[in-house]
Structure 1
Amino acid sequence: MSSASGHRNPSRSVSSSTVIADNAAGYHDLKIDGYLTIKGFPTGVPIKSSPFTVGGHRWRICFFPNGDRAITVGPFSLSPEASPFLFLDEVVARPRWWFSVPPSDLHRHLADLLQSEKGADVVFQVGRETFPAHRCMLAARSPVFSAEFFGAMKESRTAAEVVQVNDMEAPVFKALLCFLYTDSLPEMRKEDEDVMGQHLLVAADRYDMERLKLMCEGKLCEYIDVGTAATILTLAEQHCCHGLKKACFHFLSDPEKLRAVMTSDGFKHLSRSCPSIKNDLMTMLAP
């Protein structure tokens, strides 16, 4: 009969240890010129950065354009050059990403708002035509509209307000609204640009819209000739368009062109409306 004392359990030895790891942080910017040209790289083929040091170890950023089966951070992988026992989170890498951002289409949405008439709270009566619009939009774009709709003495209204617009043709006001909402002018026929430009310049000055006014000045400079110079010069003088006025005087500095302009109907209107300009032109003809 065997003795139980011959089957004693062996004693167990218990021990422990502690590893204190220092944290090291840093970053390395990797810039890739011509990013779109590297999309054809095979899977697993990296682009490597220059070596850099963090926490006493040398590192590289390996960028895999088409992925890798190794441990990755997005398409990036961090690999130590010195020690195989480093952890991935010892380095903080900040890769720069490139995105194709489409151009702003705010103007298209605002054009749709004007076209749909949703939420319109003011109606303009121009001749026989009406144009619904939004007071906040107009006030944001024109100091004159801002004072008209939200001046200190204006009362708040809930119903749509009707505003009569005199001394302006309906197509001109429609083009003005288009600019107010989209910051651009509607397409128009080439033969209508000079006349529309003159009317829009007057409207821009009326509603204190400096950008539109300068755009009209620039466009009208292209249409200065013997038949239009006097009319455009009158417009420039009446609405303080210094650049347009200078362009007209440059055109009229040619004595032959000036003599031809002085026989036009536009020069008669210029003489009546702006006598000082007439005297300046006459002086230009003096020897």
Structure 2
Amino acid sequence: MYYEGPIYRPPSEADSLLVQATVGCPHNRCTFCMIYKNGPPFRIRKMADIKADLTEAREIYGEAVRTLFFPAGNTIVMKTPDLCEICRFSRSLFPHLSRITVYGSSHYICKKGPDDLKRLAEAGLSRIHVGLESGDDTILRRIRKGTDAREQITAGQWVMASGMELSMYVILGIGGQARTAAHALKTAEVLSRVSPDFIRLRTFVPKINTPMLADVQAGRFRMLGPRDVLRETALLIRNLTARSRLTSDHYTNYISLDGRLPDDRDRLLRQIEAALKRDVSAFRPFFIGDA
């Protein structure tokens, strides 16, 4: 089976079959991300090649495949008929599939529109992973996300209306010390307007060969410490009115949180309060990411 570029998928897709549908990322300008900066350049693979890999996977795994993820960085940009076709083809090969998923940025989701999203859902695409990162437009501009809060809300609402599941990812600390409160409050506002199925928390770690690492090292960006991140998380959770599962399933986080909102809000806040009483040495140390 073919694969070009770094293998990158959400932790929740750890057990999924990975069949590459696109290579690289069509945006590839986010200042915090290093994944696709050194290539290969973005392209959409030929349908025949994608189907050949799916067929080979069927020969290897038989009907055992239950979940399928189509990398790479923004597979939602595929032409809707083509993405529908590989979803239907996959379900014909693997009749026990419970989930087919892709990455999709809000900008490209909005280019699809609600009708195409519904067509994708009907064809068997069942979940989109969206990097919200922040609901604060100032932060989104600074990190060159290529979208704004209004577009993030629209994209999220359209995905939810289509019948697909939606995972939205938040980067704790991405606003630094200067915008920690704005980040928490405005992100809570966007998430509450969308009410995605999953809210997944990550903590900002500067990565090698990224503009944000240069800003950290030069003192232009003042990172949050562990307790600052926890306070930001508490502010986010206190202001969320979304009915979502919130989880911190990532190695960058200082503590593990998992619960249903709003039912588990008080328990999650108690977990944070308990963690705030720990000595700072109890948390993971600062590090620079290389992946």
Same-fold call, TM > 0.5? no
Q: TM-score of the superposition, structure 1-length normalised?
A: 0.25
Compare relative contact order (CA 8 Å, sep 6+) and give the higher one, 1 or 2.
Answer: 2
